[in-house]
Structure formats: C-alpha cells, structure tokens
Amino acid sequence: MDSMIFFTLVAFIGIIILKLICNNYAVVFIDGWSMYPALNNGDIVLIKKKSPLKAGSIYVFNRYAVGYNGVLIYQAVKRLDHIIEKELVYFLGDNDSDSLDSRHYGLISYDDVIGEVIKVLWRSKK
C-alpha cells in the first residue's frame, strides 16, 4: 500500500510540473523566411510565454487579418524593434525583402504578444 501512495504522489507532482511547463512555455514551428538568417523556414523554437519585452529580442504574437470569411488570426514571429507606448509595440522581420511586419500592418498590442523565442530546438536546412 505504501508503494501505491508513493506512485500516486509522484504522478501528482509530475502533473503539476507538466502543467507549470505548459503554462509558461510553448513550442512553435517557423513557417516562412521573414526572420532569416536568425530563423529558417522549418525551424522549431521554444518560447517563454509573457516574458518582459526587450528591444532586439524575437517574439511570437497574434496577428489579425480580415479575410473573405471574417477575421483570421495567425501567429507571427518577428524581432521587437521598439515599444511605441506602454501597450503598443513595433515588430520588424530580419529579412526585409520577405517580411510582412509593422511597416505593413502597424502596431501590435502588448496583449497579443504570446512569448519570447528563447531557444532554437531544431534548425532546418536552408
């Protein structure tokens, strides 16, 4: 009976740790060349959710676009250029010739920033 309590306790602690990790981190697949050479199309990165904003760091954020069937929401990955106001930020892609960024769609709300890219988990080939 003691081993059953031990394994239940270990499983419970494991679930709590997993929940904390999932609430604070996410894995994102890079689709496109807008952040080349920092990130390649097909790279897989780890992001830390809701980390403090720092100019020069790369972030994942929600981007909204109006489409034929209504508003589309997709995630974009860009470098933070500067904070315009306390709640608005300006993002730029590293690859000017292949990047849609704040020069095209304007400022992004701080609330739409998902997290900061902290590590490339897998680097795709060019």
- The whole-number pLDDT of residue 1 equals 53
Q: Is residue 6 part of a domain?
A: no
- The whole-number pLDDT of residue 126 equals 64
Task: Work out the mean pLDDT of the chain and round it to a whole number.
Answer: 87
Alpha-helical (H) ranges within 1-126 are: 2-24, 102-105
pLDDT, one tens digit per residue, over 50-69 is: 888 999 999 999 988 777 77
Parent domain of 67 = 26-121
The DSSP call for residue 78 is E
Task: Residue 114: give its domain's CATH number.
Answer: 2.10.109.10
Q: How many domains does the chain have?
A: 1
- Of the chain, the percentage scoring pLDDT greater than 70 comes to 98
Q: Is residue 126 part of a domain?
A: no
Does residue 9 surpass a pLDDT of 90?
no
| pLDDT grade for 33, boundaries at 50, 70 and 90 | very high
Q: Is residue 14 part of a domain?
A: no
